[in-house]
Amino acid sequence: MNTPLPANDLDGQVLAIEPDAGKRKLSTAKAIQEAIAQQMRADDSVFVMGEDVGPYGGIFSSTTGLIEEFGPHRIIDTPISETAFIGTGIGAAVEGMRPIVELMFADFFGVCMDQIYNHMAKIHYESGGNVQVPMVLMTAVGGGYSDGAQHSQSLWGTFAHLPGMKVVVPSNPYDAKGLMTAAIRSNDPVVFMFHKGVMGLGWMKKNKRSIDAVPEESYEVPIGKARVAREGTDVTIVTLSLSVHHSLDVAEKLEQEGISVEVIDLRSLVPLDRDAILASVSKTGRLIVVDEDYQSFGVSGEVIASVVERQPGLLTHVSRVCVPDVPLPYASQLEYGVLPTPARIEAAVRDAVAGRGTS
Amino acid sequence: MNTPLPANDLDGQVLAIEPDAGKRKLSTAKAIQEAIAQQMRADDSVFVMGEDVGPYGGIFSSTTGLIEEFGPHRIIDTPISETAFIGTGIGAAVEGMRPIVELMFADFFGVCMDQIYNHMAKIHYESGGNVQVPMVLMTAVGGGYSDGAQHSQSLWGTFAHLPGMKVVVPSNPYDAKGLMTAAIRSNDPVVFMFHKGVMGLGWMKKNKRSIDAVPEESYEVPIGKARVAREGTDVTIVTLSLSVHHSLDVAEKLEQEGISVEVIDLRSLVPLDRDAILASVSKTGRLIVVDEDYQSFGVSGEVIASVVERQPGLLTHVSRVCVPDVPLPYASQLEYGVLPTPARIEAAVRDAVAGRGTS
Amino acid sequence: MTLYPELTDDARREMLRMMVLIRTYEEAILREYHADKSPGFDIGAGLIPGEMHLSAGQEPVAAGLALHLTTDDAMTATHRPHHVAIAKGVRLREMTAEIFGRETGLGRGRGGHMHLFDPETHFSCSGIIAEGLPPALGQAFAFQRRGTDRVAIAVAGEGAANQGAFHESLNLAALWKLPVVFVIEDNDWGISVPRAKSTSVTSNAVRGAAYGMPGIRVEENSVEGVYDAAGEAIARARAGEGPSLIEVHTLRLWGHFEGDAQGYRTDLEGVPGHDPLPTYRNALVARGVITDDDYATMQASAVERVEDAIDFAKGSPVPDPADALKYVFSEGAHS
Amino acid sequence: MTLYPELTDDARREMLRMMVLIRTYEEAILREYHADKSPGFDIGAGLIPGEMHLSAGQEPVAAGLALHLTTDDAMTATHRPHHVAIAKGVRLREMTAEIFGRETGLGRGRGGHMHLFDPETHFSCSGIIAEGLPPALGQAFAFQRRGTDRVAIAVAGEGAANQGAFHESLNLAALWKLPVVFVIEDNDWGISVPRAKSTSVTSNAVRGAAYGMPGIRVEENSVEGVYDAAGEAIARARAGEGPSLIEVHTLRLWGHFEGDAQGYRTDLEGVPGHDPLPTYRNALVARGVITDDDYATMQASAVERVEDAIDFAKGSPVPDPADALKYVFSEGAHS
Ligand SMILES: Cc1ncc(C[n+]2csc(CCOP(=O)(O)OP(=O)(O)O)c2C)c(N)n1
Ligand SMILES: Cc1ncc(C[n+]2csc(CCOP(=O)(O)OP(=O)(O)O)c2C)c(N)n1
Ligand SMILES: [Mg+2]
Ligand SMILES: [Mg+2]
């Protein structure tokens, strides 16, 4: 017997190009595809490699349609051999090509991290700048759909801790296109981490900002500059990726109660825009870090330390809304108990303005 | 032609058991060996596995002499297949054995991290507590002898960030024995990270505290309790591993100038003894974190955040003496330019008491 | 549990019964999985959320192994674990409750469909390709050291055989003569990538020789072929003669995971005709080993067991979010 | 550079000359390494600090490859890289300056002896076992895509052949017919672990078949054997016929690294008698290919080149600690 498959659009196609008020809107997935396609047209040393990036179009639609235009010679399906094919990307980059290599889930870094952090990230330094590795390592992160402890992690803190690779984490279609364009053109290795929940996939819960206006022409969003996603005066939320949207939702809601929340979208962790963080908390004095990665020894600590090591007396309130140090649980009730949900963010903001400590 | 090998004691044997004032002194390496031997005598489910742990005795002498007592059946040399043999440790632990598995350098985690962080660390949680993994993963860390970017890293922040494994980092022989004993007896997976520079090896620059008094009988140092390595009132240094010794050296020196430095030896990162950190800075108000791991997104940020999220106004001075975000350089001049040397620590303390920011 | 060294008609019936049970189970999970994900497929919604990899078509691998194993033997499996878990004797109720994310599940809802751990039957699985193999070595190591004749079965897909962990595991197992049997389920596909685009040889069985290990390929998804090959390999392992590699040419009857439209799949048309279940049923009927009535009885009893498990799962409590941090460590405070 | 497809006497002399140059180099590094580490060996002290893995005894591998390669070909090597780096044509002065940690070094003193990168000769190495192999695939990939006949040589020890990266690399290279030649230096030891305790087969050459790739073993550390095997494999690769695997049974004449007392080593007594350098010299003298005078000339010229490189290194400036953060990224500020 065969399976009655539900109607679905795993490749995200149906979401693309919904014209609105004269502005073309794309899903984040489409925006990434477009950035890759434009750079591939402009530079024939660019190619894509990874598991299921060809006819399937990438498990999270990062490469949908590319094989039709560029063929299997430049959009290359690989065996399940992450060490070998990421290494292949490194060697090709050393020889002047510009590979975009997809690691299907960041959770799989453990089978290939040596190539990533001891090779891709260090060759430039070890060679005294004589060898460049212009490579993009693209990977999916994040939870929220019960994919369990090995397929739901964000892990950007792990990558950002290890020197020699830039780490970008877009939250929306515009940034995704511009950061991907910048990443491909960069002469340094860039890890491009997209949250499944910001891709605008048809088969996953998505937020309204995952489909948005994107210019047709090529443009770069500079790597290393945070964005003030929303201005505010009472509390600063420093965050990234999907949590930007939750934070904006909370900020919109609380505005009606007269609580003014500034939301900083980091956009990249390496380099980290410490000036932007400081500028914001200089106004608000209250800092909340919202991070879907594990809480301890990661992004949240770094953001907080970056402020207090420069201005120890500045902050009157500091808290974190992160995944506590627990593997991501499978059951929805448990998973949403540990994810940085709007409810947890809202509670943290209320505590901050009330001067209460969070626990 | 053959090589005229210099006289040396790669196995650290000559350092052991120097009686002093009636107290038996051991090197950290010997203390570890003794802990392992005692637990192996007490429990025949304990065994050791790793590269060159047999006749060689461990590249950093963690297993010297064990094969003579316990034989190749329990002190087992492995192929260079870290994924396979760490996984073997996991499976054996699941079946009730108590493996001690050595990963020769923590720098090699990239070839086997999946077994470590997605399996060893998560099985207990994923099984809802029904399956225990009582395993010790022992590994060498640290630089200072020009071993280059792939053999000099500390990386404890990377391990501590990922949930499900305890992470212990002893700084001296007494703690090393007690923590190893506790680790072997623990029903949870424990990553035991020893700095080469605290082992008391005959062939590496060593500090005076790497050989010290150690009781003969078995004892545990509880995992999760920091130690006040030195009391002081002006500045708190929170640190771990080899940097404890540098910090103590600096504290002793500055005492003569009337600067009183408290040194906290964390001893473990998971669990992290946040209470001990807070207790100390509650006295001093000044916090310096000294960490041989990379600065950003790691231990130093976490220590600082742990304080300010609880008491934002407490700290009047905060600084970090870490490895800046750069691969460890080979040339001594460069390596000692980025390591947390006594000179850098001293400068940081002077800045702290003078109320100057460090840059 | 009876072990069947010889392929008797009893064994044949047992194997068919196992295949029916597995298929019935997978069909029920399929039904429950999709029941509440519409309109518009939402992977995170419904009573069974998340990725779902079903094993329909691969029953011969599980059924051919089952009769050679006891509760004390171990097995590690993959992201597609249900069939072999059932064959290993994992309790249906607790397994199903885990898939439904319930507190009564094997992992109290913490693990999920790719993370089934059953200490009673020494069963576990992993969602990371090929990384389930090394822990099987450790179980075999413990069995060997304790002087038992217990074995560990390490299951992986043909896509996994290109992963480094496969190589390391086979070398170490052969070197130490560990009582492991590696079983590769070659269903022709690793998600959307056909074997010819992932594997430089046509059969992974030839890779056994790279480790000095017997390597055998079972063709045509033959449950009796699996039975024979597994019987020999397991006997070898029990006798202390070391590991073996078995590759079974099997069939992925459905998509890689549920929701997979399989647009990439070139062999789709022929698939239903290769379903091993009617094939084996018909063969056994033709040979007089079972009657149509016997088969109907098998089906009915399978349905009963499976629906009981589903009811158990649905009737079980969901975990309390307040307990989300429980079970990170077995002892000591959460850091 | 002349390529020698046939094994002429010129080629033989060239190979011996290369072997002499390498040995002279390693002896000089040995001398410099130990010169200032006493009293009491301190690994971090002296003009050359850190671990030091020398390749004396393994010259036949390097020399047998050298004559088939051009500057445009690529090579990736291991923690024991000097011999093959010299064979690949890496500039002695800059390589030596790197080993001495000088600003004039290949990596401006940032890399060190295990991290020699020379874009001119497409040479690189890595201190992580077997992880040097995958980047060679990428270089070969680039060569293939650009329609050139350039090849990449990927060198590793026999210990490395049990690592997952070895397996993945061979499969991918064979699958994509990449112009790579895998060269395994079997020196019987991985630090203190003999091959029989690490490898489940007696020769890694048999592992070629697991990838549908020719696998050949060169016995007795024969430089001419390497020459022949490499010649064929490289020609194959240049012709677009894909990768090959060559294992050479070679000899680790000295310790794993300097300071290694080799207490574990059971074969130590016989080692000097197996030194390939006098063996090959004597053979060529006996066959009239060279005279003793020729050999003396080779030695003298090797000493001259090597001492020039050492002098260059010693005379070069050490890096400025203030520049330690330079070269993390090629562009943009340090974060
Ligand atoms: C290390 C790793 N890489 C990639 C994946 C994503 N992935 C999940 S299943 C799968 C295909 C597996 O193919 P195969 O081993 O043949 O098993 P099958 O799904 O056919 O049963 C892939 C690539 C993963 N889970 N782990
Ligand atoms: C992944 C990894 N594991 C372990 C080591 C430590 N190590 C360095 S050299 C070596 C032995 C290598 O043996 P082989 O591959 O035979 O090379 P040889 O030293 O004999 O040239 C080991 C285990 C390492 N560098 N990387
Ligand atoms: Mg498959
Ligand atoms: Mg070797």
Q: Which of the residues of B are catalytic?
A: 151
Q: Where are the beta strands (DSSP E) in chain C?
A: 74-77, 123-125, 152-157, 180-186, 189-190, 193-194, 215-218, 244-249
Q: Give the closest of A114, A131, A132 to D128, CB-based.
A: A114
Contacts of A27 (CB under 8 A, 6+ apart): A12, A15, A16, A61, A173, A199, A200, A201, A210, A211
| Contact yes or no for C330 and B115 at CB 8 A | no
The mean pLDDT value for C124-129 works out to 98
Distance CA B117, CA B163 (A): 8
Distance CA D13, CA D6 (A): 13
Average pLDDT, chain B: 94
C49/B8: higher pLDDT: C49
| Contact yes or no for A78 and D126 at CB 8 A | no
Task: Return the domain boundaries, chain B.
Answer: 19-213, 227-354
Please tell me the least confidently modeled range out of A10-24, A136-150, B75-89, C187-201: A10-24
- The residue of chain D nearest to residue A73, with distances taken between CA atoms, is D145
Under CATH, which architecture does the D9-313 domain have? Answer: 3-Layer(aba) Sandwich (3.40)
Helix (H, G, I), strand (E, B) or coil at A341: coil
> What residues of chain A, 261 to 300, have a C-beta less than 8 Å from chain B?
269-270, 272, 293-294, 296-300
Q: Which of D164, D92, D103, D97 is nearest to D129 (CA)?
A: D164
Is D167 within 8 Å of B111 (Cβ atoms)? Answer: no
| pLDDT for C256 | 98
Atom number in ligand 2 closest to CA D131: 1
**At D332, is the pLDDT very low, low, confident or very high (cuts 50, 70, 90)?**
low
- Amino acid at residue number B285: G
Distance CA A276, CA C305 (A): 60
Helix (H, G, I), strand (E, B) or coil at B13: helix
- Kind and range of the H or E run holding A32: helix A28-42
Contacts of B225 (CB under 8 A, 6+ apart): B267, B268, B273, B276
> What residues of chain C, 157 to 216, have a C-beta less than 8 Å from chain D?
162-168, 170-172, 174-175, 197-201, 206-207, 209-213
Q: Give the closest of A293, A301, A312 to B316, CB-based.
A: A312
Site of tokens 């990371």: C128
Distance CA D208, CA D228 (A): 18
Radius of gyration of chain B (CA): 20
Task: Determine the CATH number of domain B227-354.
Answer: 3.40.50.920
Residue A17: phi, psi to the nearest 5?
50, 70
Q: Which residues of D touch A163 (CB under 8 A)?
A: 328
Is B227-354 in the same CATH topology as B19-213? Answer: yes
| pLDDT for A46 | 98
Name beta bridge partners: B46. Answer: B98
Atom number in ligand 1 closest to CA C161: 15
- pLDDT tens, residue by residue, C228-284: 999 999 999 999 999 999 999 999 999 999 999 999 998 899 999 999 999 999 999
Average pLDDT, chain D: 96
- pLDDT tens, residue by residue, D109-127: 999 999 999 999 999 999 9
| Contact yes or no for B325 and A294 at CB 8 A | no
Nearest ligand for residue B60 CA: 2
The mean pLDDT value for C291-313 works out to 98
* Cβ burial, residue D279 (10 Å; 0-12/13-18/19+): middle
Q: Where are the beta strands (DSSP E) in chain A?
A: 25-27, 46-50, 75-77, 98-105, 136-141, 166-168, 190-195, 211-213, 227-230, 235-239, 261-265, 268-270, 286-294, 317-323
Task: Report the length, in residues, of chain C.
Answer: 335
Percentage, residues of chain C above pLDDT 90: 95
* Residue A73: active-site member: no
- The residue of chain D nearest to residue C215, with distances taken between CA atoms, is D210
Q: How many CA atoms lie within 13 A of B190 on its CB side?
A: 30
Q: Give the closest of B91, B114, B130 to C139, CB-based.
A: B91
Q: Which residues of D touch B204 (CB under 8 A)?
A: 42-44
Of C79, C167, C186, the one to substitute when testing ligand 1's pocket (max ligand atoms within 8 A of C-beta) is: C79
Following DSSP, what letter does each residue of D114-140 receive, concatenated? T---BTTTTEEE-SSTTTTHHHHHHHH
**At B19, is the pLDDT very low, low, confident or very high (cuts 50, 70, 90)?**
very low
- pLDDT tens, residue by residue, D169-215: 999 999 999 999 999 999 999 999 999 999 999 999 999 999 999 99
| pLDDT for A21 | 52
pLDDT(A18) > 90: no
| pLDDT for A14 | 36
Q: Is C192 in the pocket of ligand 1 (CB under 6 A)?
A: no
pLDDT(B17) > 90: no
Q: Is C159 in the pocket of ligand 1 (CB under 6 A)?
A: yes
Q: Is C116 left (phi over 0), alpha (psi -120 to 50) or beta?
A: beta
CA–chain centroid gap for C37, Å, is: 25
- pLDDT tens, residue by residue, C24-39: 999 999 999 999 998 8
- Kind and range of the H or E run holding D84: helix D82-88
Instruction: Record the tokens describing residue A134, joined without a space.
Output: 């212009």
- The residue of chain D nearest to residue C208, with distances taken between CA atoms, is D210
Atom number in ligand 1 closest to CA A150: 25
Q: Is D189 in the pocket of ligand 2 (CB under 6 A)?
A: yes
ipTM given for this complex? 0.97
Task: Return the domain boundaries, chain C.
Answer: 9-313
Is C259 within 8 Å of A8 (Cβ atoms)? Answer: yes
* Cβ burial, residue D209 (10 Å; 0-12/13-18/19+): middle
The mean pLDDT value for A199-213 works out to 92
- pLDDT tens, residue by residue, B262-288: 999 999 999 999 999 999 999 999 999
- pLDDT tens, residue by residue, B88-99: 999 999 999 999
Query: Cα of B94 to ligand 2 centre, how many Å?
Result: 29
CA–chain centroid gap for C197, Å, is: 24
Q: Which residues of D touch B49 (CB under 8 A)?
A: none
A208/D281: higher pLDDT: D281
Can you list the pairs that C328-331 forms with residues at least 24 positions away whose Cβ atoms lie under 8 Å? C328/A325, C328/A326, C328/A327, C328/B124, C328/B125, C328/B163, C328/B164, C329/B124, C329/B164, C329/B166, C329/B188, C330/B124, C330/B129, C330/B132, C330/B187, C330/B188, C331/B186, C331/B187, C331/B188
- pLDDT tens, residue by residue, D41-87: 999 999 999 999 999 999 999 999 999 999 999 999 999 999 999 99
Name beta bridge partners: C74. Answer: C152
Q: Which of D88, D166, D75, D173 is nearest to D129 (CA)?
A: D166
Closest-CA distance, A313 to chain B, in angstroms, reads 6
Q: How many CB pairs under 8 A join A and D?
A: 158
Nearest ligand for residue C161 CA: 1
The mean pLDDT value for C65-71 works out to 98
Q: Is B204 in the pocket of ligand 2 (CB under 6 A)?
A: no
**At B11, is the pLDDT very low, low, confident or very high (cuts 50, 70, 90)?**
very low
Query: Partners for C (CB, 8 Å, 3+ pairs)?
Result: A, B, D
- Taking the Cβ of residue A19 and every Cβ of chain B, the question of whether any pair is shorter than 8 Å is answered with no
- Taking the Cβ of residue A161 and every Cβ of chain B, the question of whether any pair is shorter than 8 Å is answered with yes
**At D6, is the pLDDT very low, low, confident or very high (cuts 50, 70, 90)?**
confident
Q: How many CB pairs under 8 A join B and C?
A: 159
Q: Is C54 in the pocket of ligand 1 (CB under 6 A)?
A: no
Q: Which of A158, A121, A118 is nearest to A137 (CA)?
A: A121
Q: Give the closest of C112, C119, C138 to B89, CB-based.
A: C138
The mean pLDDT value for B238-244 works out to 98
Q: Which residues of B touch A118 (CB under 8 A)?
A: 107, 110, 149-150
- Taking the Cβ of residue B162 and every Cβ of chain A, the question of whether any pair is shorter than 8 Å is answered with yes
Distance CA A53, CA A78 (A): 8
The mean pLDDT value for A174-201 works out to 98
Q: Is B108 in the pocket of ligand 2 (CB under 6 A)?
A: yes
User: For the packed helices A82-94 and D133-145, what is the interaxial angle rounded to 10 degrees?
Assistant: 60
> What residues of chain A, 80 to 109, have a C-beta less than 8 Å from chain B?
83, 107-109
- The residue of chain C nearest to residue D174, with distances taken between CA atoms, is C200
Following DSSP, what letter does each residue of A264-285 receive, concatenated? EE--EEETT-HHHHHHHHHHH-
**At D251, is the pLDDT very low, low, confident or very high (cuts 50, 70, 90)?**
very high
pLDDT(A6) > 50: no
In the set A119, A124, A151, A317, the catalytic residue is A151
Distance CA A295, CA A320 (A): 8
pLDDT(B8) > 90: no
- pLDDT tens, residue by residue, A300-353: 999 999 999 999 999 999 999 999 999 999 999 999 999 999 999 999 999 999
Q: Which residues of B touch A290 (CB under 8 A)?
A: none
Residue C30: phi, psi to the nearest 5?
-55, -45
pLDDT(C89) > 80: yes
pLDDT(D39) > 90: no
Radius of gyration of chain A (CA): 20
Distance CA D30, CA D53 (A): 10
Is D137 within 8 Å of A87 (Cβ atoms)? Answer: yes
Of C54, C129, C167, C251, the one to substitute when testing ligand 1's pocket (max ligand atoms within 8 A of C-beta) is: C129
| pLDDT for B194 | 98
Average pLDDT, chain C: 96
pLDDT(D257) > 90: yes
Q: Which superfamily, per CATH, for A19-213?
A: Thiamin diphosphate (ThDP)-binding fold, Pyr/PP domains (3.40.50.970)
Helix (H, G, I), strand (E, B) or coil at B199: coil
Query: How many C-beta neighbours within 10 Å does residue C31 have?
Result: 11
Distance CA B105, CA D226 (A): 33
> CA-CA distances (angstroms) from residue C2 to A316, C5, C70, C291, C314?
70, 9, 8, 23, 32
| Contact yes or no for A327 and B116 at CB 8 A | no
- The residue of chain B nearest to residue C164, with distances taken between CA atoms, is B83
The mean pLDDT value for B115-143 works out to 98
| Contact yes or no for A118 and B163 at CB 8 A | no
Residue A348: phi, psi to the nearest 5?
-65, -40
- pLDDT tens, residue by residue, A69-119: 999 999 999 999 999 999 999 999 999 999 999 999 999 999 999 999 999
Please tell me the least confidently modeled range out of C214-223, C323-332, D69-78: C323-332
Taken in order B94, B100, B106, B108, is the CA torsion positive or negative? Answer: negative
Q: Give the closest of D124, D134, D330 to A83, CB-based.
A: D134
- Amino acid at residue number D323: D
- The residue of chain A nearest to residue B299, with distances taken between CA atoms, is A297
| Contact yes or no for D109 and B51 at CB 8 A | no
- Amino acid at residue number B221: V
pLDDT(A356) > 70: yes
The mean pLDDT value for D214-235 works out to 98
Closest-CA distance, B159 to chain D, in angstroms, reads 19
- pLDDT tens, residue by residue, B35-49: 999 999 999 999 999
Following DSSP, what letter does each residue of A283-294 receive, concatenated? HH-EEEEEEEEE
Query: Partners for A (CB, 8 Å, 3+ pairs)?
Result: B, C, D
pLDDT(C73) > 70: yes
Angle at A41 between CA A37 and CA A42, to 5 degrees: 120
| pLDDT for A359 | 46
